[in-house]
Amino acid sequence: MYVVLLLGFIIIIVFLYDYAQKRSDRWKKLSEFPGDATLPLIGNGLQLGFDADEAPHKLMALWVKHGKQNFRLTVGYEDWILLSDPDDIGSLLNHSTELSKTVERNAAIKPFFGDSVSSSEGVKWRSMRKLMAPSFNFKNTEKWLEDVNKSCDRLFNILDTYDSEGPEDVYRYLRPYFFDLLCGTLMGVDSNLLADPDHPYLKASGKVVKILTHNLFAYWRNIPVLFVLTPMYWDMVRTIKTMRQASTLIINERKHKLKQFRDDSIKNNKNVDIDIEVLLQNQLNYGGSMLDALLRSKLPNGESTPNQIISDEVTLACFTGHYTTTKTVSHTLYCLAKYPDVQRKIVEEQRSIFNNDFDKKPTNQELSQMKYLEAVIKETIRVIPTVTKIGRQLQNDFTFKDGRVAPAGTSLIVFYEALYQNPKVFPEPEKYIPERHLESVHTFSLVPFSAGPRMCIGFRYAWVAMKSTLSNLLRRYEIIPGGPGTEPKFAHRIITESKNGLQLRLKKRKL
């Protein structure tokens, strides 16, 4: 009897709370945006269901249902407004103070990457970003390009052995390729995972996007008491441990190299009046790795930056830096296999730039001439968004251009999938038309690296790595569809990836 009474009392409290919420000033502001009716406690959670890989399709269906415009959604007691208007997206991303990432996103990502630059705020975020920024300066592009060209030769040695032998999963080779490239360029160490595509790090990091997406959309996982009882939790723990071990090895190897450089410098300059620390700083200022900047950094109190902070940043950079470039380049190759006329146009552009010398390695000047190749990459990102959503947790009320107000505490979500399919932004969005990016477009119609104060710090590095890799690949191989039964099964997770890999055939070009 008492249990029934208690249960009835709880239900009454829940409905009274929901009644009060629906009559609040906050809800009046949210109601200005189209959206479905919400249920007490769970909001619109049931509409998203319990399959995280299906949730993006349901969100797109809601976007269509509500007129292909910004719309609201409530999950539990978290209110979201999903944005597909480029003007509103620009206002949000360019905002000088609304810089906080969403609560749901941070809860999912912090177990993997800690309080890294991706999720930190305030003084810590600004100081860490300022510390790493010089490593991504435009002046370093020549060094990056040199590293890409050398790495491509190692990739070719492997891919040449599969010439015309049947479909191969390009994810399998491009992931270690981009990881090795990133380690050599930004970490100053040689990893050579390309020689071991079944390396534990690659197996572990291959699970991250699925786990993160399920943590974000499977809301019960945010209840630690329940989550720790499941096999999924322990799989996540093992994955994180493997990734952190890889970061520790990278950090320790670079520490050893810096010590060796210091010792050699002292030995070679023992008769010269020179400050070794100044010498090391000069090396950092002129092409030093991002990891060097972290290892030589100090806290405000003068103490060396703790290993945990360095590990957070290295783990984040190693994963996001290799994973996003892998997916973008792989998906571009898939689109070129699917649309051979587009591939032919790229080859023609390459031929005109290199004067038929297809063995030549590209320079920065030649990369800048590859306008059509860049348009193809952008169109691929539009059709198969590498990153599907980013967001901000509002600290204050946010006013849109039409006068509507999103109340403080709301999660504003840049809904890339909807933005890129918005016919008002991209006419005939169902068609693959690279030429649309050769014309003038809205500044915020395609922002794969975000924009404004929290724009991805590595965007220059990513563009150099992707364009130069594709240039080298497409001058060496014709990209052909994998054949029957190999069509990719794309899952629009936090990062879009094919659940069955990406099978393509490579055929050596005959010039």
At a CB cut-off of 8 Å and minimum separation 6, what does 54 contact? none
How far, in Å, CA of 379 to CA of 164, rounded? Answer: 27
List the structure tokens of 162: 């599969």
- Alpha carbon distance 441, 117 (integer Å): 30
39 and 11 in contact (C-beta within 8 Å)?
A: no
Strands 78-83, 71-75: pairing is antiparallel
Angle between helices 122-132 and 307-338 (to 10 degrees): 70
Per the DSSP assignment, residues forming a β-bridge with 398 are 406
Query: Does residue 212 contact residue 494 with C-beta atoms inside 8 Å?
Result: yes
CB contact at 8 A, 178 and 326:
yes
DSSP states of 373-420 = HHHHHHHHHHHS-SB-EEEEE-SS-EE-TTS-EEPTTPEEEEEHHHHH
Q: Is residue 398 classed as helix, strand or coil in its secondary structure?
A: strand
CA dihedral of residues 113, 114, 117, 120 (deg, nearest 10): 140
Tokens of 197: 């595509």
Q: At what angle do helices 141-159 and 459-476 cross, to 10 degrees?
A: 40
d(CA 378, CA 466): 11
Element spanning 491, H or E:
strand 490-492
Q: In angstroms, how far apart are the furthest CA atoms of the chain?
A: 91
Answer yes or no: is 152 a known binding residue: no
Cα dihedral across residues 83, 84, 87, 89: positive or negative: positive
Instruction: Extract the tokens encoding 85.
Output: 């208007």
Residue 499: C-alpha distances to residues 48, 319, 330, 338, 386 (Å): 20, 18, 13, 18, 14
* Cα of 263 vs its chain's centroid, Å: 38
CB atoms within 10 A of CB 5: 9
Question: How far, in Å, are 7, 63, 128 from residue 169 at the CA level?
Answer: 54, 33, 37
Q: In what order do the strands lie in the sheet with 477-481?
A: 168-169, 503-508, 477-481
Give yes or no for a contact between 429 and 423, defined as CB atoms under 8 angstroms apart. Answer: yes
How big is the CA angle at 115 (ends 111 and 120), to the nearest 5 degrees?
Answer: 130
Handedness of CA 356, 362, 363, 368 (dihedral sign): positive
- CA distances 91 to 86, 100, 416, 453, Å, are 9, 15, 15, 12
Q: Which residue numbers belong to the known binding site? A: 456
Residues at the annotated binding site for heme? Answer: 456
